[in-house]
Amino acid sequence: MAPLPYPVLHATHGGTWIDLAGVDLMGGVRAIGRAAAIAAAADTPVILLNAPVVGARIGHPDLSGLDVLELFAFIHPARFMVPTAAGLARTLGLAPPASDGETAPFLRMAVDALLARLDDPHWTEREGAWSSAQTLGRLGWPWAPIVGPRIRRPERAERWLFSRLPEWEEAATRPPPAAVRIPAPDAIARLEQLVGSGAEVRAGQRDYAAALAPLFAPRDREGRPRALLAEAGTGIGKTLGYLAPASLWAERAAGSVWVSTYTKALQRQLDAETARIFRDPAARREKVVIRKGREKSLRLLNLEDALQGGFQGRAAILAQLVARWAAYSRDGDMVGGDLPGWLVSLFRRNGSTALTDRRGECVYAGCPHYRKCFIERSVRAAEGADIVIANHALVLLLADRRRSEGRSIGHVVFDEGHHLHDAADSTFRVALTGQEAIELRRWLLGPEGKSRGRRRGLSARLADVVSYDDAAALALEAVGHAAQALPGDGWLRRIADGDPFGPVELLLSAVRDTVFARAKSVEAGYGLETDAAELDGALIGAAGPAAEAIEALVRPMLRLRQRLEAVQEEMPDWIDAPALARIEGAISGLNLRTRTLTAWTELLLRLGAPPAPDFVDWLAVDRVDAREFDVGIRRHWLDPGKPLAETVLRPAQSVVITSATLKRGGDWDHAEAQTGLAHLDDPPLHFEAQSPFDYAARSRVLVVTDLKRGDLGQLATAYARLIEAAEGGALGLFSAIGRLKAVHARIADHLARAGLPLYAQHVDPMDTGTLIDIFRDDLHASLLGTDALRDGVDVPGRSLRLVVMEGLPWPRPTVLHAARRAVGGGSAYDDQVVRARLAQAFGRLIRRADDSGDFVLLSSAVPSRLLDAFPAGVPIERVTLARAVEIVASRLSSSDAIGHQAGTMTTPGMA
């Protein structure tokens, strides 16, 4: 096959290369400047790998072309691939390029290999490709003229996505679980079976499973769940430790155990571990369900709309690629599932959020795709599953909803339990902000201006119902009228211009004025906030009319809900199943939203009064890079453990809260307070097992004492020297995005020229999961990031051998922090937070028994009292930067595991 007549462009922080084979007579690869690269891309389509990343490297963010990743997503939808040259090489069975200079010709080879698959009789994702290529051609997808003619036209018309997806089956409601107990020896026997005959169950894991077994039994008294706090050091094997008794109970009682996690990585790990319980894949699919929130799953109705003209330009191309994926996806998860995280980044996130259900717009049985809907399938599957895996946010939300319906989540294991406090904090908060208010207005009235596809307001969703019922029609009309008081499109510009419209915009305008008058930015260019106390007359004066307007909206919403409930009971003869389902959906949406509106009114009515003891209220202007995106009043619980205990813990039969760092450098009292268990009537049981890892022999903590505080140049130099000494494999943690970006800008080019790619959250146009995949895959890559990396990176092996923290991770001095600090013991509270964060960050380093590495803290003033955050026995040295560099390099020279040769890259990717 002749090479495609297009140049291939490759760019890293270290340089830019173009391959002109088949394009001009000179052919070959050559290094070019950034300006020449931009000019080349303007003249003719270029082949490249990840256009946004290459565009960022050459300083042309809007760069587009023949992106190899888009071609891959078309040919192999729902297939995992690390989006680098090395990742592509591995997936295609090719030899990876040995240097940056060889990457451009390699990409040409990879394109040929991909195109050859279109002709391969064993191409498993052929169905639907021909039709999709035709549509993509009409949409102007640059690959379509190349791909289209290479796909054989099918003999019969291809079924389109919505007829290909399987339907879920309606099942009878599951009876309540049987009352059974799990004896500890049975749990241990199950654990031994799961671990397998070739491996040994360690004592800590055995004790852990035995300690959990008694939890899986009916509680003795209502409102008094069996509760256990279990701290199990990394390496104990706690996932199998709890899956053993949990799966046994589920099997014997015919009930479900919920396992709640904080990170997607743990969800994936759990999903894989359950293969030991259910060896038959079909049985496993039935017995283990990962439940995602509606806002994370593909909504077929929105996709259909996007495919039928609802999306334009690049968003329409994304919709076609998403449709290709949906036909092969295991569960339709758009976030953290089998849709590559990098796919939506290629489209600058354009359109992806409109493919999910972010506003509870589901019309249930009224939807033509109801029986094939991924979301509905997972809801039903969870009802009959043994193990339901979900994240903390969703479990808290569902528990809260079930409680209002008089049900509960019976048995629940919260893994990564040290995040439960934060999850409860955000679940039970109240935010009366412009963005929240306009979302509510759109749910009620539909989008303004040009209608966006299937998105309809409540009136349109209930049109057929109210045409038969006058009382409902009147209430709905009143809702529509009252909702006009909520902010509409352009609210942010209007209040910034001092020209607010309506009572709620007037309130937001007064909030913004107060914030700008009083607040200091915690980090330059980012959010501003101030205490909701000692407020001036203008703001208090605006609160009254806003509260009245909100109450005036709640009243007809309640009337409408009551009327709909009455219709549900009366079952008039005009009602059919779709109408009934729409009524059900509307009632549940109205319930949720009247609760929100009532919380807003309570918040407003307290403005100017002494603060409510259980809450912290403040005013905020949210900004990114000095650009405002939201304004409003926020309320958080001073102790989110209180609503957590009432809505989630108390209604449960049993609760296990487990983590490697539950006590977070504190004690059990602290752990009970953080997890809400302190608010239950009975104290929880405690269990503790030390990590089997030899931290003292395999890791060190180096406190670098000779850097001048606040000197960005010195900070950047320190990062660069340490990363060079370790030859990559470094995770750099920052407390402020601004400093992260400044350090990255100073060192990325230099490191790239040394063959050490540097990636960064908030800089590279990729999602965090993809950045971690690339980091994990490349022994010489390093990754810079903020909180999410400190808590959620699980990279066992040599890929992560150095953690560098820019300083002590003190809490940000926010209004909420000040309030919690005041009741939490002042500086002792801050110390707890820092210890917990240090322990979390250190925990990234040693993930397996044979891991080793260094933890470097760039801070001249680290109080000794905080050093007990690290595992006992780990050597801690206060050293100069030069000495730290020597020590890090010496660990490398004592290990030949990396096999690095200066100036070459094993995984050049698109650094």
Residues at the contact surface with ligand SF4, assessed by CB under 6 A: 299-301, 357, 362-364, 367, 369-370, 373, 375-376
Handedness of CA 79, 81, 85, 89 (dihedral sign): negative
Listed in sequence order, the residues at least 6 apart from 468 whose beta carbon sits closer than 8 Å to its beta carbon are 572, 574, 575
- What is residue 857's three-state secondary structure? strand
Cα dihedral angle (548, 552, 557, 558), rounded to 10 degrees? 80
Question: How many angstroms separate the CA atoms of 903 and 655, rounded?
Answer: 53
Give the residue with the Cβ less far from ligand SF4, 54 or 301: 301
CB of 357 to ligand SF4, least distance (A): 5
Query: Are 229 and 197 contacting, i.e. CB atoms less than 8 angstroms apart?
Result: no
| Radius of gyration for the alpha carbons in the chain, expressed in angstroms and rounded | 29
- Run of H or E including 420: helix 420-427
Give the residue with the Cβ less far from ligand SF4, 362 or 678: 362
Query: Are 267 and 391 contacting, i.e. CB atoms less than 8 angstroms apart?
Result: yes
Give the residue with the Cβ less far from ligand SF4, 297 or 768: 297
Start-to-end CA distance of the chain, whole Å, equals 30
As given in the structure block, the two tokens for residue 859 are 């801070």
Q: Please, where are the H alpha helices in 571-644? A: 577-606, 641-644
Instruction: Please state whether beta strands 528-531 and 615-624 pair in parallel, antiparallel, or not at all (unpaired).
Output: antiparallel
- What is residue 805's three-state secondary structure? strand
CB of 248 to ligand SF4, least distance (A): 34
CB of 326 to ligand SF4, least distance (A): 11
Give the residue with the Cβ less far from ligand SF4, 454 or 559: 454
- Run of H or E including 506: helix 502-518
- What is residue 574's three-state secondary structure? coil
CB of 383 to ligand SF4, least distance (A): 16
CB of 297 to ligand SF4, least distance (A): 8
Residue 889 C-alpha from the chain's centroid: 35
CA atoms within 13 A on the CB side of 589: 26
As given in the structure block, the two tokens for residue 89 are 């090489």
Give the residue with the Cβ less far from ligand SF4, 376 or 617: 376
CB of 644 to ligand SF4, least distance (A): 28
Burial per residue of 177-204, b for 16 or more beta-carbon CB atoms within 10 angstroms, e otherwise? beeeebebebbbebbbebbeeeeebbeb
Query: Are 6 and 40 contacting, i.e. CB atoms less than 8 angstroms apart?
Result: no
CB of 378 to ligand SF4, least distance (A): 10
Give the residue with the Cβ less far from ligand SF4, 373 or 802: 373
Give the residue with the Cβ less far from ligand SF4, 147 or 300: 300
Question: What residues pair up with 333 in beta bridges, in sequence order?
Answer: 297
Give the residue with the Cβ less far from ligand SF4, 583 or 678: 583
Question: How many angstroms separate the CA atoms of 164 and 170, rounded?
Answer: 19
CB of 299 to ligand SF4, least distance (A): 4
CB of 371 to ligand SF4, least distance (A): 9
- What is residue 834's three-state secondary structure? helix
CB of 374 to ligand SF4, least distance (A): 7
CB of 361 to ligand SF4, least distance (A): 7
Which residue, chain included where needed, has tokens 């022994």? 779
CB of 362 to ligand SF4, least distance (A): 3
φ and ψ at residue 142, rounded to 5 degrees? -60, -25
Question: How many angstroms separate the CA atoms of 119 and 121, rounded?
Answer: 6
Give the residue with the Cβ less far from ligand SF4, 257 or 363: 363
Instruction: Please state whether beta strands 8-12 and 15-19 pair in parallel, antiparallel, or not at all (unpaired).
Output: antiparallel
Query: Are 87 and 110 contacting, i.e. CB atoms less than 8 angstroms apart?
Result: no
Query: Are 445 and 480 contacting, i.e. CB atoms less than 8 angstroms apart?
Result: yes
Give the residue with the Cβ less far from ligand SF4, 98 or 379: 379
Which residue, chain included where needed, has tokens 């918040």? 603
CB of 586 to ligand SF4, least distance (A): 13
Give the residue with the Cβ less far from ligand SF4, 363 or 905: 363
Give the residue with the Cβ less far from ligand SF4, 334 or 375: 375
Give the residue with the Cβ less far from ligand SF4, 299 or 442: 299
- Run of H or E including 558: helix 537-570
Q: What is the DSSP string of 641-709?
A: HHHHIIIIITTSSEEEEEESSSSTTS-HHHHHHHHTGGGSSSPPEEEEE---S-HHHHEEEEEE--SPT
CB of 881 to ligand SF4, least distance (A): 55
632: nearest Cα among 510, 813, 483: 510
CB of 561 to ligand SF4, least distance (A): 20
Give the residue with the Cβ less far from ligand SF4, 370 or 443: 370
Question: How many angstroms separate the CA atoms of 475 and 558, rounded?
Answer: 9
Give the residue with the Cβ less far from ligand SF4, 331 or 357: 357
CB of 355 to ligand SF4, least distance (A): 10
Give the residue with the Cβ less far from ligand SF4, 281 or 309: 309
Give the residue with the Cβ less far from ligand SF4, 117 or 401: 401
Q: Please, where are the H alpha helices in 274-391? A: 281-287, 300-305, 313-328, 341-346, 374-384
CB atoms within 10 A of CB 501: 16
Give the residue with the Cβ less far from ligand SF4, 322 or 482: 322
Which residue, chain included where needed, has tokens 């608010």? 679
Listed in sequence order, the residues at least 6 apart from 887 whose beta carbon sits closer than 8 Å to its beta carbon are 700, 702, 854, 877, 879
CB of 300 to ligand SF4, least distance (A): 4
Question: What residues pair up with 257 in beta bridges, in sequence order?
Answer: 387, 411
CB of 259 to ligand SF4, least distance (A): 24
